[in-house]
Amino acid sequence: MRQEHIYIAIEFLNTHMGYSIKEMCIALKLNRSSYYKWKKRNPSPSELLNLRITEYVKDLYEKSNGVLGYRQMCININREKTDELPHVINVKRVRRIMRILGLKSVIRKKRPDYVKSTPEITAENVLNRDFKATVPFEKWLTDVTEFKYYVGPEVKKLYLSAILDLYDRRIIAYKIGDSNNNSLVFETFDEALKLYPEAKPIFHSDRGFQYTSKVFQQKLGIQQMKQSMSRVGHCIDNGPTEGFWGIIKSEMYQMYDITDEQTLRFAINDYMKFYSETRIQERFNGKTPLEVRTEALVSNNPIEYPIPENRRIKKYKEKWCA
């Protein structure tokens, strides 16, 4: 039936949210008689399946506080409801149901322009945007970002320094501080070495003053890590870390009620655990970063997870580089 999904949405919104059937039909320019005729029919297997999916979608959306988009929603349904569904659910079906229900995921805000700095000691861009890693500890990326909170009318900030492993996109070490200084970055690095003392990855960062300092250069040298730095004004050279900042800032503020420094610190710590242990990723075939790492560390041949091609970049190249 062509309008099946619309009727399902009307029934769901009426049953669970108390919306008026009459007003919904008027808004959608539908005859109420058509809706009631549909309701009295014998539902087809496809309709019954859509109703079950609708229940799953609404439940997962509420549990995630609106963080899940249709792709992650589809992955979660296929992962958690395997025994309850007759077959794998198509992502287009989930998108259609979410659109009818008016459910949308959190949208990341555009980043402000890159702020230039004067480095003390610099390194070449060894990584050169090669974000593929075939094993853990092959390539590490790092950066510092800020989070705002308020004390009355006064704006305060906390700073988060983190190190990301490109193999599983897991944050292997992080520190929170009230000042963006050398100690914050050095403590993050020391924490990573405490957890993984034998690691000797390519270590990539931007040209922040902490990473260009002589002390940090010595730390990398002692660990025999090869340093790599983004080019000036090219934050995309550290793209995966920038992407993670976008994810945490869009999802965390949606998931937690942040009112002061204490609640902000709790939200950051709790989200880090959520991202590593609960937030599944399509690229990893519906696994979490922790699951990917755990499997890799006990395998002689870790699974390789190809990076999906960026469609916008592909279209740009087809248009301008042909």
What pLDDT score does 4 carry?
72
Query: Could you tell me the pTM of the whole model?
Result: 0.68
List pLDDT tens digits, range 249-292: 989 988 888 889 999 999 999 999 999 999 999 899 999 999 99
| Higher pLDDT, residue 294 or 109 | 294
Q: In degrees rounded to 5, what are phi and psi of residue 79?
A: -80, -45
* Domain-located, residue 227: yes
* Domain-located, residue 298: yes
Q: How many separate domains does the chain show?
A: 2
List pLDDT tens digits, range 213-229: 999 999 999 999 999 99
Handedness of CA 84, 60, 94, 6 (dihedral sign): positive
C-alpha distances in angstroms, 86 versus 52, 75, 89, 91, 145? 11, 15, 9, 15, 45
* Domain-located, residue 20: yes
C-alpha distances in angstroms, 120 versus 50, 145, 228? 60, 20, 15
* Domain-located, residue 83: yes
Q: Domain check: are 12 and 150 in the same one?
A: no
Contacts of residue 78, defined as CB under 8 A and 6 or more positions apart, other chains included, come to: 85, 88, 89, 286
Provide the pLDDT confidence category of residue 90 given band limits of 50, 70 and 90: confident
* Domain-located, residue 248: yes
List pLDDT tens digits, range 160-202: 999 999 999 999 999 999 999 999 999 999 999 999 999 999 9
CB 210 within 8 A of CB 182: yes
CB 120 within 8 A of CB 212: yes
Q: Domain check: are 156 and 69 in the same one?
A: no
List pLDDT tens digits, range 7-38: 878 888 888 888 999 999 999 888 899 888 88
